[in-house]
Structure 1
Amino acid sequence: MTPPIRFGLIGVDSPHAPSFTRLFGNGVDGAVPGGTVTHAWKGEAASDFPLSLDRIDSFADEVSGLGVTLCDSPEAVAEACDALLIVASDARTHPHYFERVVRYGKPIYVDTRFAPTLAEARTMLAQAQASGTLVLAGSPKRFTPEFQAARGGARVREVTLDGALPTQPGHPGLSWYGVHLVDLAVAALGAGPEAITVDAGKQGSFTTVTSVTVRWGNERVADMKGESQWNPLTTGRLTTDEGVREFSIEAGPSMLVGLLKGIVDSIHRGTPNVPLREILSIVAIVEAANKSLEAGLPVSVGRSS
């Protein structure tokens, strides 16, 4: 049998850190065989990001209690492991963390929020190409059986998505939880969106996204909406050449299984689990949505090729 892939966590201030560790288990008889988390670096919590500050110590203790060795640096984790999982919850840290470990040439998964800006995402992919690093990405929701069954193989013309749209400090608009909806839209309609319109509402003194429309060529369109309060359900409706298909996804540890199985498979094949142009398109949509939110006007999406 092929030995389990030894994964290392970079940043542990997300519930994905202990969840990934538990789902992989010993790499043989866990929920996701083929990989095991052996090392982790705690990460650095930003002073303006309470969600990280309030959780990083407890998650580090939890991961350590599961048998994972805590290291003093991301470089030490990279040296000890076969592949890396950047699961730090603050997306603003991802480009720098990626830069610190990409030179080791080992596969790197960047969790959900790949990078805050398209320029940073392009730099990260260029660094990966220079070092021969396999880049892995994507929201767990894209890999769920519910979405995969609805997506099928038919051409999708329209996507309607409804899910939570809360924000966090430093993560406005779609940058926090809305990126899950963006990922599903790109998974269904492909790379290369052209224009975006954002409708906003007020939550106290904050302006929040209530709905987003993204247009591709050939009259393909995605409509995304949701409330500012988090809830575990994401629902969708795909209009395809073969008819209408609907799906519903509930957040929880089981939702992560498809993602982790795909990561293991992609590493064995040596191919990305998400096309690189789709990674750039997701970042481009989120960035354009923030610009539309600030301007109060439709904006074009930055080139994602």
Structure 2
Amino acid sequence: MKSSRRSFIKKSSVLGAAASLSTLPFSLLANSKADNIKIGIIGLDTSHSPAFTKLFNGENPSPELAGFKVTAAYPYGSRDIKSSMDRIPDYIAQVKELGVEITDSIEAMLEKVDVVLLETNDGKPRLAQARKVIQAKKPFFIDKPVAASFADTQLIYQEAAAAGVPIFSASSLRYMSNAQAVRYDGKIGKVLGCDAFSPATIEAGHPDLFWYGIHGVEILFTVMGPGCESVSRVNTPDADVVIGKWKDGRIGTFRGTRTGKHEYGGTAFGSDGNLVLGKYEGYEPLAVKIAEFFKSGVSPVDSAETLEIYAFMEAADESKRRGGEAVAIGSVK
């Protein structure tokens, strides 16, 4: 990785946190139907879109989600991934029942909302879509995958930081209770290592782990924290096994399953014992963090950590191309 890229990964979180709250296009005190913070969605080709809409627009949302409403959506979205395209008509119907207006362009949607959920399932159009959101100065949550390459992911973060536009991305698996307790509450003392797993189905046009492996990789980084230096990858008939070496000598692994039952989880190893990380807990914990982000303008996940996650996955692809050779994350471009 060039020195400028390394510098950006280190400094990007500082730039994001420094964005003035006065630039947010709504009142932080919104608490009635008349002054709801209006959310727009880009992409109705993923189950995440109706799931978030149901949480924010339900008759009795949790207190943490009160004061928000999804009001407009642009459906597209992937236009060349059939499994995504086929979902769009049903998801349009679902969100319309919840009071969401469907627009015929991203630009029209942006005029109607305060903040954005960029949900397009396909990473390939993400950079172009994110640029429209950034130009409109709308804070946005960008779902997985941020883009279809590390280079595009980095560009999105660079351009958002340069424009002073708050950005946040995370898998919902980051907010598994035990993973959070290990990282922030010292539940098992000093973290010595972690083995994480998730499905890792592959979609053409994306580095292998970007499409679904991101979930397990995010579990791994939630527990271990940033600081991975090199990645090596071993492929088996049923799974991808990726071994990360952290700068302090710790080892963390990700096992991405391509066949069999799809499950999410892992085991964290600590100085005070080990802990099974548990099961997926749904979208609401992430939705709560998104709501907090929209109010504060500060991402709950350091942008440098998010960029390292995507560099880790890109390095895993490079290791695959090199027959399992260790690849330095700093060499990823």
Contact 1:173 1:293 in 2 (8 A): no
Match of 2:214 among 172, 179, 190: 179
Contact 2:182 2:191 in 1 (8 A): no
Match of 1:37 among 62, 70, 75: 70
Matches within 5 A, 1:55-204: 55-154=87-186, 155-202=190-237
- Please give the alpha-carbon distance, in whole angstroms, between the structure 2 residues aligned to 1:169 and 1:50: 12
Where does residue 309 of structure 2 map in the other structure? 282
More deviation in 172-181 or 225-234?
225-234
1:303 Cα deviation from its structure 2 partner: 6.2
- Please give the alpha-carbon distance, in whole angstroms, between the structure 2 residues aligned to 1:231 and 1:98: 34
Where does residue 23 of structure 1 map in the other structure? 55
Contiguous gaps of at least 5 residues in structure 2:
1-28
Matches within 5 A, 1:205-216: 209-216=239-246
TM-score, structure 1 normalization? 0.89
1:148 Cα deviation from its structure 2 partner: 1.7
Where does residue 206 of structure 1 map in the other structure? none
Letter in 2 for 1:50: K
**1:88/1:267 Cα in 2 relative to 1: closer, same or farther (>3 Å)?**
same
**1:171/1:120 Cα in 2 relative to 1: closer, same or farther (>3 Å)?**
closer
Contact 2:42 2:74 in 1 (8 A): yes
Count of aligned pairs between the two proteins? 295
Match of 2:328 among 275, 300, 304: 300
Contact 1:116 1:287 in 2 (8 A): no
- Please give the alpha-carbon distance, in whole angstroms, between the structure 2 residues aligned to 1:65 and 1:302: 47
Q: Percent identity?
A: 27
Letter in 2 for 1:29: N
Contact 1:162 1:234 in 2 (8 A): yes
**Partner SS for 2:310:** helix
Contiguous gaps of at least 5 residues in structure 1:
204-208
1:147 Cα deviation from its structure 2 partner: 2.4
Where does residue 6 of structure 1 map in the other structure? 38
Contact 1:165 1:226 in 2 (8 A): yes
Letter in 1 for 2:69: T
**Partner SS for 1:90:** coil
Match of 1:46 among 67, 79, 94: 79
- Please give the alpha-carbon distance, in whole angstroms, between the structure 2 residues aligned to 1:75 and 1:244: 49
- Please give the alpha-carbon distance, in whole angstroms, between the structure 2 residues aligned to 1:79 and 1:229: 44
Contact 1:157 1:219 in 2 (8 A): no
- Please give the alpha-carbon distance, in whole angstroms, between the structure 2 residues aligned to 1:213 and 1:183: 14
1:42 Cα deviation from its structure 2 partner: 0.8
Moved over 6 A (4+): none
1:75 Cα deviation from its structure 2 partner: 1.7
1:245 aligns with 2:278: no
TM-score, structure 2 normalization? 0.82
- Please give the alpha-carbon distance, in whole angstroms, between the structure 2 residues aligned to 1:83 and 1:148: 26
